[in-house]
Amino acid sequence: MSNLKALAYEMRERTIDIIVEGKTGHIGGDMSVMEILTELYFDQMNISPENMDDPDRDKFVMSKGHSMEAYYAVLAEKGFFPIEEVIEKFSKFGSKYIGHPNNKLPGIEMNSGSLGHGLPVCVGMALAAKMNGQGYRTYTVMGDGELAEGSVWEGAMAASHYKLDNLCAVVDRNRLQISGNTEDVMAHDDLHERFRAFGWHVIDVADGNDISQLKAAFEEAKETKGRPTVLIANTVKGKGSPVMEHKAGWHHKVPNQEELAQIRKDLKERKEALLHE
Amino acid sequence: MNKIANRQVICDVLVEAAKEDKDVVALCSDSRGSASMTKFADTYPEQFVEVGIAEQNLVSISAGLAKCGKKPYASSPASFLSTRSYEQCKVDVAYSNTNVKLIGISGGVSYGALGMSHHSAQDIAAMCSIPNMRVYIPSDRLQTEHLFKALLKDEKPAYIRVGRNPVEDVYEEGNVPFEMDRATVLREGTDIAIIACGEMVKPAADAAKLLEEKGIHAAVVDMYCIKPLDKAAIVKAASGAKAVLTVEEHAPFGGLGSMVSQVVGSECPRKVVNLALPDAPVITGTSKEVFDHYGLNAEGIAKKAMELL
C-alpha cells in the first residue's frame, strides 16, 4: 500500500486483532506510535527481511518495548513473519511472540522492555558506524514517561559527546503514562530545552500522527551534521478512536465487545477516508 | 613476588589482539587508570571508548557496538559494573546475547579501606543468576592471560572479575594447565577437597602444604570458571574426599560455596563448609588485613579443614 496514512490505520486494525486474540496489550501506546513506525519502516529506513545480514543497513531499537503489538503489525507488514501467526500465537503459552521485543524473532535487533535502554544501545550502534566509516543510520523510539529513566540522559550525553549525527531518536510524546499525565507523574514539559542543553538538535513535530510532518522531520535530521537529532513527536495516546484517545486508562487494556465494535468502526472509517484523500 | 596485576595482563592481551583485529574495542567509565587500560587507550585511541562515570551507559553502549560487529571489552570497578549496571548486563548483554566481555576490576575487597560501597562481594551471586552470562574469576596473571586469549575466540557474553593488586603466581610461567571451562586441579587428596577461586586459590594451595605436614591429604581445585561450573571436577574431588571446603572472596550467600553445595548435595552428599566474607560490612583494612581477619589465608583455611575432619 503506497498510501502510508491509510496503511497506518490498516496496521492499527491488525494491532487490535493481536490484542483481542492475545487478551493483553499496551493498546494506548501502540496507537500513538503507529505513524512513527510506519514512516520509519516504509519510507526512511533501509531495513527489510532480505537485508538483515547486510552490515550497512540501518539499525532500529524499539526502546518503548511495551508497544510491541504495533511493532508486530509493522514487522509483519514488512514481511518478517506472517501476521496470522502473530494474531494466533501472541502471548499464548510457549509462544515466541511475547509482550516485548525478542531478538530471537527476525527483524528485531535488541531485546527491550526495561525502559531507558534503547538510546544508550543506539549510541553504541551509531558509534560503531563512525568507527568503521559506515553510512548506516540508527533510530530509536522512546516513550515520554520513559524519559524519567536516568540512563536515557547518560545516553543523550554520550551521543552529543561523540557527535553522533547518524543517530536519530524519536519521543512518542503522547503525554500519558500508566499513572496519568506525564506532567503530574514527573514533569518535563521543557523537554526541548533539556535535549538542547545536552547538545542535541531538537525538532518539534506538531502532529506526531501525521506522516507528512514526520517525513519532513526525519529528512531534516538526515541533513543535521555534528550532533544527534531528537524528534519530539506530539502524538495522541489511543489514536484512532474516541473510545481510547487521550485516556490514561487505555495504557494497557483489552476492549470489551461494545468498545471493540466502535473501535473497529472508527478505524475502518478513518482508513477509508484516508484511502480516498 | 610477582609485580604484575591481573588487570595489567588483560590490557597487554587486548593491545596485542587489537593490533590484528580492528574490531577489538576497550571501553572504560573514567576507569582507564584503575583498569590499567591507559596503554590500550594511548596505543589504539580509535579503538577506545570513554563513557565517563556512567556504568549503565558503559554496558549499553558496549551492547550496541557488539550488535554492529565490534568486540567490546568493558572495564569498570566490579562493585559498580555488577550491580549498578545489573539491568543492562541482564537485558542488553545476556538476554540480547551480545558479544560483550564485562571486566570487573578491583574486585572483592581490593579497595580495602574505601568501604562497602566499593567492595564487590555480591557479583558472583548477581551475575551467575542471569541466564546466558558466564562468570570467571582467574587466580593469577598467568591464568588470566590464558583466559582472555580464550575469550577473544568466542562471541558470547561473559563477566570476569580480577583484583586490583598483583597476586602471587599460582602457576609457573610456560607451564600453565588451562582448559576453557574446566577447573584446574592443583593437587589430589583423599581427606578433604578444597575448592577455591580467584585470590583464594593461592592460600588454598599453601594450606594444603600445611595440612600435608600434619598428614592430612587435601585436594585443591582452582574453580576459575564459576559459570559454567565444572561440575565433573567438583564431583571427582568431593567423591574422593571425606569433606569439602570452599573458599571465596565473596558474601556467604549465592557464591562459589552455594554453587558447590548444590552439586555436592545432589551428586555425592558429604559435608560442605564455606569460608567467605561475612554477611556484614567488611572490616576496614588492606586486602591482606581483611583476609587475615576472616581466616581467608593459608593458616585459616588449614585450621578450618582440620576442624572439619
Which of A131, A142, A198 would best serve as a mutation to test chain B binding (most B beta carbons within 10 A)? A131
Which pLDDT score, from 0 to 100, does residue A208 have? Answer: 98
Of residues B52, B56, B91, nearest to A112 (C-beta): B91
pLDDT at A2 over 80: no
Task: Provide the 8-state DSSP code for B23.
Answer: T
Rounded CA separation B199/B276 (Å):
12
Could you give phi then psi for residue B163, rounded to 5 degrees?
-85, 175
Kindly tell me if the per-residue pLDDT of A1 is higher than 80.
no
**Which of A121, A134, A151, A166 should be substituted to probe chain B, the one whose Cβ sees the most B Cβ atoms within 10 Å?**
A121
Which of A154, A160, A166, A198 is the best residue to mutate to test the B interface, defined by the most B CB atoms within 10 Å of its own CB?
Answer: A154
- B1 — pLDDT class (breaks 50, 70, 90): confident
Range B14-33 average pLDDT = 97
Q: Could you say which of A121, A132, A154 has the minimum Cβ distance to residue B63?
A: A121
A220: left (phi over 0), alpha (psi -120 to 50) or beta: alpha
The three cell numbers of residue A254 are: 483489552
Provide the β-strand partners of residue A177. A180
Minimum CA–CA partner of A123 in chain B:
B61
Residue of A nearest to B44 (CA): A131
Asked if the Cβ–Cβ distance from B61 to A127 is below 8 Å, we say yes
Q: What is the mean pLDDT of chain B?
A: 97
End-to-end CA distance of chain B: 33
Q: According to CATH, where is 3.40.50.970 located in chain B?
A: 6-161
Which of A29, A32, A25 shows the shortest CA–CA distance to A8? A32
**Which SS3 state, helix, strand or coil, does residue A90 take?**
coil
For A110, the closest of B54, B69, B92 (CB atoms) is: B92
CB contact under 8 Å between B64 and A150, yes or no, is: no
Residues of B in contact with A55 (CB under 8 A): 68-69
- Residues B59-88 have pLDDT tens digits of 999 999 999 999 999 999 999 999 999 999
The mean pLDDT of A6-23, rounded to a whole number, is: 97
Question: Per-residue pLDDT tens for A18-63?
Answer: 999 999 999 999 999 999 999 999 999 999 999 999 999 999 999 9
Residue contact A120–B60, C-beta within 8 A: yes
Query: Hey, which CATH number is domain B6-161, 3.40.920.10, 3.30.420.40, 3.40.50.970, 3.30.390.30?
Result: 3.40.50.970
Cβ <8 Å between B64 and A117: no
pLDDT (average), residues B228-232? 98
* Structure confidence by residue, pLDDT tens digits, B107-165: 999 999 999 999 999 999 999 999 999 999 999 999 999 999 999 999 999 999 999 99
Please report, for the domain that includes residue A31, its CATH number: 3.40.50.970
Mean pLDDT of chain A: 97
Query: What domain count does chain A have?
Result: 1
Burial readout B69-78 (b: 16 or more C-beta within 10 A, e: otherwise): ebbbbbbbbb
For residue B194, pLDDT beyond 60: yes
Cα–Cα dist B24/A91, whole Å: 39
Q: Could you list the residue range(s) of the whole structural domain that residue A81 is in?
A: 4-275
- What was the pLDDT predicted at A241? 96
Residue A63 backbone zone (phi > 0: left; psi -120 to 50: alpha; other: beta):
alpha
Supply B283's cell numbers: 572490616
CB count in 10 Å sphere of residue B17: 18
Residue type, A24: T
Q: Is A234 in a helix, a strand, or coil? A: strand
pLDDT tens digits, residue range A238-277? 999 999 999 989 999 999 999 999 999 999 999 999 998 7
pLDDT, residue B3, reads: 87
The ipTM is: 0.96
Of chain B, the percentage scoring pLDDT greater than 70 comes to: 100
**For the domain B184-308, what is the CATH code?**
3.40.50.920
Amino acid at B161: R
| Cβ contacts of A146 on chain B, cutoff 8 Å | none
